[in-house]
Amino acid sequence: MRWWQIRNRDADVERELQSDLELEEEEQREHGVSPQEARYAALRSFGNPSLIGEQTRGVWIWSGLESLLRDLRISTRALRRSPGFSVLAVLVMALCIGAATSLFTVMRSVLLRPLPFRDPDRLVMIYEHSRDAGNNAQWFNNTPVAPADYYDWRAQTRGFEDMAAWYFWPPNLTGEHGELPEMVQAGGASWNLFPLLGVNAAIGRTFTESEDRPGENVVLLTWSLFQRRFGGDSLIVGRQIHLNGKPYTVVGVLPRWFIYPDAEVQLWTPYAGIGADVISHHEYHFSRVVARLRPDVSLATALSQVEAVQYQLHMQNLHAPVAGDVASRTLIEDLAQDVKKPLIILLCAVGCILRAW
């Protein structure tokens, strides 16, 4: 029976019950019961017609829909009695549901979805760290790494497949024909950063080991800069652009999805291009180090090797700001550290509001 036939079905049930009750009453009269007593006797024998009707409706397949329609009618009448409160309640619920959906989408993208790199679970960030920094704790707890420390870690440890380093720097960008300059955010990356992450160039290539040294002026463009500044012209590969007035040869364009460490980085140059006098120091803390753990080595074991090297460097530079220990974070924790706690707090707040309503 279709849902729009529910009212006709109810009328049929009422007629059937009334007919059965009348038959029972007639049988009582045939047994010599007075007409007035026959009615009560029939009711006692037959049972409560209303209860029987409800039990009959309870076994119908559309009883759930009928209950829903009844609840909707009751809710509609209640909302009509207080329209102001009803509008406010609907708006608050819509706002909370929308906020919860948006926050969960962001949390899924930031915290739950795997990073688009090769075996992202084995990628970690390593920082210099001091467990006993005293009043200088803010400078020595999870600080960026000095270039010379990074080179020593990579050369003297075997717990990681490889280590790569990068840093931020803000050059002025112009084209090869002296177009208007533009201040951009750039990254200086060791040649092995992109192979370590499992990233290939979409056009051209990434850096080679021989290019990661002072005086080698080559550059990788991100896809967003490639499209915005150069109109998506693949012929830009092999040409020159100018950074702070110096010519750099474009060797490749990175994939559209690559926005590590964030979308503000528009181009990449070799790590050692910052200069030989800088990369040889243990005191200049500006590099981020990302490492790939070996499959057969635990993080604690691999990190202990780096700790031993760093402690030795600390003892050799007691009068310099060289930390005596290291600390690590997974790559996804490192990328989400500034937003993880606010997102969780906001999602909990929205949940509390929904529960209250």
Residue ranges in the chain assigned as alpha helix (H): 6-30, 35-46, 49-58, 63-81, 83-107, 137-140, 147-156, 193-197, 223-230, 276-279, 299-316, 331-336, 340-356
Q: What is the pLDDT of residue 81?
A: 77
Contacts of 287 (CB under 8 A, 6+ apart): 144, 145, 146, 147, 150, 165, 166, 167, 271
pLDDT at 256 over 80: yes
User: Which of the two residues, 203 and 66, has the higher pLDDT score?
Assistant: 203
pLDDT at 138 over 60: no
Q: What is the pLDDT of residue 2?
A: 47
| Chain mean pLDDT for the chain | 81
pLDDT in tens, 274-312: 998 899 989 899 999 999 999 999 999 999 999 999 999
End-to-end CA distance of the chain: 37
Q: What is the pLDDT of residue 58?
A: 58
Rounded Cα distance, 205 and 116, in Å? 19
Rounded Cα distance, 222 and 258, in Å? 8
For residue 195, give the H/E element and its range.
helix 193-197
Q: What is the pLDDT of residue 131?
A: 67
- Could you tell me whether strands 265-270 and 218-221 are parallel, antiparallel, or unpaired per DSSP bridges? antiparallel
Tokens 């997102």, residue located: 343
pLDDT in tens, 221-250: 999 999 999 999 999 999 999 999 899 999
pLDDT in tens, 28-79: 677 777 777 766 676 666 666 666 666 665 555 455 666 777 778 877 777 7
Rounded Cα distance, 199 and 117, in Å? 7
**Pick from 71-75, 95-99, 275-279, 340-344: least confident:** 340-344
Taking the model in full, what pTM does it have?
A: 0.67
Show the tokens assigned to 145. 């790494």
How far are the Cα atoms of 100, 118, 207 from residue 198, in angstroms, in the given order?
Answer: 34, 5, 13
Rounded Cα distance, 272 and 188, in Å? 8
Query: What b/e string do you get for 64-73 counting C-beta neighbours within 10 Å, with b at 16 or more?
Result: eeeeeeeeee
DSSP 320: S
Assign 116 a pLDDT band (cuts: 50, 70, 90).
confident
Contacts of 52 (CB under 8 A, 6+ apart): 17
pLDDT in tens, 125-135: 999 987 665 54
pLDDT at 355 over 90: no
pLDDT in tens, 148-191: 999 999 999 999 999 999 999 999 998 766 567 899 999 999 99
